[in-house]
Structure 1
Amino acid sequence: MKLKVIIVDDERLALRRMEKLLEEQIEVEVSLDLIGTFVNSYDALEAARREPLHLAFLDIEMPEIDGFELANRLLEIQPQLQIVFTTAHQEYAVKAFEMNALDYLLKPVNQSRLAITLQRAAVSAARTTEIITETDNIKLCLLKNIHYIDTYGAVQSFPWKTLKACELFAYLVYHHDNTVNKQTLIDLLWPDQDIERSTTQLHTAIYQIRKIIKEIDLIYLELKYKDGGYSFVLGELKLDVEEWESRVRQAPDVTSDTLDQHLSIMSLYSGDFLEEHRYIWAEYEQERIRLIWLNHMKQIAECYSSLEQYTEAMLLYQKIVERMPYVEDGYFGLMKIYSILNHQLEVRKQYQIISNKLQEEFEVTPSKELTEWYHEWSNNM
């Protein structure tokens, strides 16, 4: 493959030397396409906005925007861009590799050392191309907890170093394709800190997210900075909660003929939206998704019941009770089946359980519909 390259250095002689080294590079079988050489960082950013790039050679000590800041801005535009820092000063090496740079070259750069860098870049670019062909299986997941499904269909967790980076990631994924203002994020995640410290914390978390995305090769997931805020662009990646909801809404009515299809959809629901993280901001969405799940489960259970497959129906109603213990639907469904099977004690038991729960938690009695059904049933006993 051909690597698309840019060089940025505020010294024209250094710029010309690196260009000449690349033109003369024959020690490795790497085809290069030099997109541009720039003494101005802003021109380099414009080039990155115009077309995809594979590799950027950046001088570190430059006016206005130094190499580290330029690298951050370039990665905001193209997260998979490989960065190589060039400098005459050894002391920048640690910071360069903290930024997950591909390499760090000391000036004056020689051909043999440059050959090693280009070989690394070629291997990395080839790996990225390979991953693109496998990405159909990759899925971001917010049901139950934050995780992802890799190209082999295996469940993988993210190696978060801080809880705030994890929460920021979840929030931006949930609001994907929408720019969230920096101040909104600060108010959400660091409300009690001063503006300088909270801004630093935000930038640190953003850096962690970018680094992790790169490490685990989520190449379609793009974190953008625009208009004073951040946004995630999912690209070809699927989000489990959206995929599940879409399947539920597009599915035909639950009947004996479509039951298997609905059971397959039901199996995709691994847990409530971000339930293990207990984020306050996620509570509304969690409840909305749970109600869709509840309605779907009830339809499947009612189908089983109509087919006189009472054991299967009871198992689903029991799942409703376990997941939503203060909602009547699960208990009511069980009561109806127990009445059909003439299990009178179980009918009374379920009614007593939900009555006690509602009284203890909300100081209310069961709904009029449930109460009237129960009294009518009792009178007919």
Structure 2
Amino acid sequence: MEVIVVDDEELSLNRLGNMLAGMPGVEVCGLFYTAAEALRYINENKPDAVFLDICIPETDGLALANKIKDIDGSAKVVFVTGYDEYAVRAFELEAVDYLMKPISRDRLEKTVQRLQRTLLGTDRQSNPQMKVSCFGGFRATVCESDSGSVNWRSPKTEELFAFLIFKRNVSRDEIANTLWDGLEPGRALTNINSTMYYIRKALSPHGLEKCIAATRKEIRIDSELISCDLYEFERLLRGRPSSKDRVETLDRLAELYKGELFQGKAYEWSFAKSRSLESGFISALLETAEYYREKRGYEQAEKMYKRAFEIDPFNEDICGHIIQICLKMGRKSEALRLYLQMEKFLMEELGEKPQAKLKKLFEEQ
């Protein structure tokens, strides 16, 4: 991989050049103090990557990056600076990375590895690089790493990332109207850009910032790089498994459903879908329970009803199904105990007694 470095500070220029020269697979082809010198070299030699300081004479590094792309659209740019105020604009220019001075060797190695993967066309890996859990809370974890969860700078940073995961592809206008409702449009846009910067900053040390693709109008999650329980759950619910695969599908749905969507987070934008997914899961459980009842598989049916009842403990119809199975299998005392528990629960929570039809089940025996 052939690289050049552009920086008007001699000490910084030589230090970065020496660090890069000591890394496997990297050939430093030039060190340049000015934009004009760098552009002449790029025009004639087409290096693979340019490490570019943002504050250089004649022009700023952001403008220079645009000129580099005009000359050679395949050249990869890595911005280097002592300030983080340009980070948002840098990422909008699709920089491979954004390095803060002083640069550590470990951090630079990650950037070089990312560049090499990109140039070899292997940056998009077949295996997910990050695992995101949305049920029972919200957590983003780096795959095959000891670093654990991704650390977010603030609750708003985490919420924006959760919203992007939730929507997959969303316009900046919708983000502003949802997460910064009531703010003047210009200020809302500034908040989006700065929060996006902190998301990328949290993902960058793990090489995960490529999970997000952004344009001036919209932001998209690359779901190929993410393993997300929400995506799998929705896919399984949309499917119509055959009777052969029904149990396997339900078992997987039950494994994924560890609680409400974004449980513990006051994300109002997720409430409607949370209820919809919960309702869909309960319907799938009940449908499968009925399938087993028709085939006299009462134990399997009871298991499905009980799982649905755990999720919706106010549902008297589900409770009635469980009571019916208990009575059919000769477990009258268990059926009575369940009825009394339901009666107590409804009185404590709603101040109401169960519907008469629930008690009538015992009279039909």
TM-score (norm 1): 0.67
2:28 is matched with none
Is contact 2:7–2:33 with CA below 8 Å preserved after alignment? no
Q: Distance in 2 between matches of 1:250 and 1:153?
A: 32
2:76 is matched with 54
Shift of 1:247: 1.7
Shift of 1:319: 2.6
Shift of 1:211: 0.7
2:11 is matched with none
Q: Distance in 2 between matches of 1:117 and 1:256?
A: 50
1:251 is matched with 240
Structure 1 residues 12-45: Cα deviation after superposition (integer angstroms, max 9, x where no partner) = 98113445788999xxxx9636799994745744
Shift of 1:336: 1.7
2:284 is matched with 296
Q: Where does the alignment leave 5 or more consecutive residues of structure 1 unmatched?
A: 61-66, 85-95, 105-115
1:372 is matched with 357
Structure 1 residues 165-211: Cα deviation after superposition (integer angstroms, max 9, x where no partner) = 212211232122111436425535xx7x9999988765553332111
Shift of 1:75: 0.6
**Could you tell me which amino acid in structure 2 is paired with residue 299 of structure 1?**
E
Is contact 1:168–1:205 with CA below 8 Å preserved after alignment? yes
Residues 247-286 of structure 1: matches in 2 within 5 Å?
247-253=236-242, 255=243, 258-286=246-274
Structure 1 residues 262-303: Cα deviation after superposition (integer angstroms, max 9, x where no partner) = 433443333321113243332222111111111112233334
Q: 2:36 aligns with which of 4, 16, 32?
A: 16
Is contact 2:136–2:262 with CA below 8 Å preserved after alignment? yes
Structure 1 pair 355/46, CA: closer, same or farther in 2 (3 Å)? farther
2:96 is matched with 81
Shift of 1:215: 2.0
Residues 33-112 of structure 1: matches in 2 within 5 Å?
39=59, 41=62, 44-45=65-66, 51=73, 53-56=75-78, 70-78=86-94, 81-83=96-98, 96-97=100-101
2:153 is matched with 161
Structure 1 pair 337/291, CA: closer, same or farther in 2 (3 Å)? same
Q: How many residues align?
A: 332
**Could you tell me which amino acid in structure 1 is paired with residue 139 of structure 2?**
H
2:237 is the counterpart of 1:221: no
Structure 1 pair 350/282, CA: closer, same or farther in 2 (3 Å)? same
1:176 is matched with 168
1:328 is matched with 316
Residues 135-214 of structure 1: matches in 2 within 5 Å?
135-136=127-128, 138-148=130-140, 150-152=142-144, 156-181=148-173, 183-185=176-178, 187=180, 204-214=194-204
Q: Distance in 2 between matches of 1:249 and 1:327?
A: 24
Structure 1 pair 159/360, CA: closer, same or farther in 2 (3 Å)? same
Shift of 1:76: 2.7
Q: 2:302 aligns with which of 306, 314, 324?
A: 314
Is contact 1:102–1:121 with CA below 8 Å preserved after alignment? no
Structure 1 residues 347-378: Cα deviation after superposition (integer angstroms, max 9, x where no partner) = 233334334444544455556xxx43642x33
Q: Where does the alignment leave 5 or more consecutive residues of structure 2 unmatched?
A: 9-31
Q: Distance in 2 between matches of 1:232 and 1:315?
A: 40
Structure 1 pair 329/151, CA: closer, same or farther in 2 (3 Å)? farther
Is contact 2:137–2:265 with CA below 8 Å preserved after alignment? yes
2:19 is matched with none
2:113 is matched with 123
Shift of 1:335: 1.0
Structure 1 pair 333/216, CA: closer, same or farther in 2 (3 Å)? farther
SS at match of 2:169: coil
Q: 1:32 aligns with which of 37, 43, 48?
A: 48
2:125 is the counterpart of 1:133: yes
Q: Distance in 2 between matches of 1:45 and 1:74?
A: 11
SS at match of 1:178: strand
Q: Distance in 1 between matches of 2:146 and 2:253?
A: 19
Is contact 1:144–1:273 with CA below 8 Å preserved after alignment? yes
TM-score (norm 2): 0.69
Q: Distance in 1 between matches of 2:64 and 2:349?
A: 63
2:224 is the counterpart of 1:240: no
What RMSD, in angstroms, separates the aligned Cα atoms of the two structures?
Answer: 4.7
Structure 1 pair 45/308, CA: closer, same or farther in 2 (3 Å)? farther
**Could you tell me which amino acid in structure 2 is paired with residue 379 of structure 1?**
E
Q: Distance in 2 between matches of 1:145 and 1:18?
A: 49
